[in-house]
């Protein structure tokens, strides 16, 4: 008899200096349950990724979807990407506005176009064409009310302290389905106090997300600028292709991240055989995993 494939779902709600809340933990558990349900009923890993991330985007509990942070001009601009490891199909959007589920927007880019990444105003127009759900709080009347609050008052010391206490509350997921296909996705509002137009690692294939059935899947969180410089998702997977386990490959990449560029990150890393690793260089990382047996496991720290 052929051995059953190890169905697996991994999820994160960001890494950083602030302890995750109980509400965030239970949202991660719900997300794992909904992703595993898709896999157990024969669904594809890419479907599980979309459903898991949509749940977190719609919760308002994370810096993604309706909970996204504002850029310094008082507007929410969101980034998201997903990738399927069987055929290296990928879709991403950056600096999109007024949309409730950026991950579904990224899926539309993947399914409906020949492109990988759409950005800004044109990405928003493209997605609206498909009549996706809007985020009403991203509307211009709301922006005008909040914009003055975020202008000009911050001092650099306060800003530094604020950043130190900030959780990178980006959300992400990685999954392995019954056909052995790995998929990964990430969705974010960036981080607080960003210059308008800033784009992080999350929508960049190979940086914040990657999936390839020959080596595995990765979803990142953390300081996007540092993750981009090392193209971290692909970097970890290339090391696994050379024979290293998810644990060793991630540990090596994180050592380089910290030593060379004083970066900060957390990662979900899954191999096509079901081995996985969850690691972070930050104090906290809200994340969880489940292989469909027993109960899903969610924690605030992983060693
Ligand atoms: N990596 C994201 C970014 O830099 C932030 C996060 O992980 O929360 O945009």
Write out the residue range of the structural domain in which residue 144 sits: 8-299
185 contacts 232 by C-beta, under 8 angstroms: no
Span 152-205, pLDDT tens digits: 555 566 666 665 656 679 999 999 999 999 999 999 998 877 888 899 999 999
Q: Is residue 197 part of a domain?
A: yes
Marked catalytic residue, from 8, 124, 170, 250: 170
Atom of ligand 1 nearest to the CA of 200: 9
59 lies in some domain: yes
Ligand 1: distance of its center to the CA of 269 in Å?
17
Ligand 1 mutation pick, 13, 200, 263, 284, max ligand atoms within 8 A of CB: 200
| Percentage of residues in the chain having pLDDT higher than 70 | 88
Tell me, yes or no, whether 1 lies in a domain.
Answer: no
> Of ligand 1's atoms, which has the minimum distance to the CA of residue 167?
8
Encoded tokens for 206: 């190979």
**Ligand 1 centre from 64 Cα, in Å?**
10
Is the Cβ atom of 264 under 6 angstroms away from ligand 1? no
Establish whether residue 200 lines the binding site of ligand 1, counting it when its CB lies within 6 angstroms of any ligand atom. yes
The token pair that represents 234 in the structure block: 């692909």
In a 13 Å sphere around the CA of 17, the CA atoms on its Cβ side amount to 9
pLDDT in tens, 150-167: 445 555 666 666 656 566
Instruction: List, for residues 235-288, the tens digit of each pLDDT value.
Output: 999 999 999 999 999 999 999 999 999 999 999 999 999 999 999 999 999 999
pTM of structure? 0.91
Known catalytic residue at 282: no
Nearest CA to ligand 1 atom 8: 168
| Cα-to-centroid distance, 284 and ligand 1 (Å) | 14
Q: Provide the H-helix boundaries in 41-138.
A: 45-57, 102-112, 120-129
Residue in 53, 142, 135, 56 with CA at minimum distance from that of residue 100: 135
Q: What is the CATH number of the domain that holds 272?
A: 3.60.20.30
What is each CA distance from 255 to 210, 224, 251, 258, 279, in whole angstroms?
20, 16, 6, 5, 11
Rounded-to-integer distance, Cα 281 and Cα 34, Å: 28
Instruction: Give the pair of three-digit tokens for residue 255.
Output: 């050592």
Instruction: Give the gyration radius of the chain's Cα atoms.
Output: 18
Q: Is the CB of 224 under 6 A from ligand 1?
A: yes
Q: What residue owns the CA closest to ligand 1's atom 7?
A: 221
For ligand 1, pick from 184, 197, 223 the residue to mutate: most ligand atoms within 8 Å of CB: 223
Number of domains observed in the structure of the chain:
1
pLDDT tens for each residue of 53-104: 999 999 999 999 998 888 788 888 899 999 999 999 999 999 999 899 999 9
Residue 2 lies in a domain: no
Q: Is 3 part of a structural domain of the chain?
A: no
């Amino acid at each position: 008899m052929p051995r059953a494939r190890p169905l697996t779902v991994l999820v994160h709600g960001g890494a950083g200096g602030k302890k995750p809340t109980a509400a965030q933990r239970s949202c991660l558990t719900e997300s794992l349950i909904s992703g595993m349900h898709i896999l157990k009923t024969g669904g594809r890993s890419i479907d599980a990724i979309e459903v898991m991330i949509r749940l977190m985007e719609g919760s308002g509990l994370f810096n993604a979807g309706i909970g996204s942070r504002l850029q310094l001009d008082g507007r929410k601009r969101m980034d998201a990407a997903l990738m399927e490891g069987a055929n290296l199909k990928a879709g991403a959007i950056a600096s999109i506005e007024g949309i409730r589920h950026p991950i579904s927007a990224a899926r539309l880019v993947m399914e409906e176009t020949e492109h990988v990444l759409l950005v800004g105003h044109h990405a928003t127009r493209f997605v609206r064409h498909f009549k996706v759900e809007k985020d009403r709080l991203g509307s211009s009347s709301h922006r005008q009310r909040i914009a003055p609050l975020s202008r000009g008052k911050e001092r650099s010391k306060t800003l530094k302290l604020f950043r130190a206490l900030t959780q990178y509350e980006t959300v992400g997921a990685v999954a392995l389905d019954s056909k052995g296909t790995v998929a990964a996705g990430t969705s974010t509002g960036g981080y607080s106090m960003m210059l308008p137009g800033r784009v992080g690692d999350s929508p960049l294939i190979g940086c914040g997300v990657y999936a390839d059935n020959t080596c595995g899947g990765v979803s990142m969180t953390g300081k996007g600028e540092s993750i981009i410089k090392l193209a971290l998702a692909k970097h970890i997977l290339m090391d696994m292709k050379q024979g290293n386990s998810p644990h060793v490959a991630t540990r090596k990449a994180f050592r380089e991240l910290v030593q060379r560029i004083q970066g900060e990150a957390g990662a979900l890393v899954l191999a096509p055989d079901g081995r996985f690793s969850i690691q972070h260089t930050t104090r906290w990382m809200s994340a969880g995993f489940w292989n469909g047996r027993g109960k899903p496991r969610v924690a605030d720290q992983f060693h």
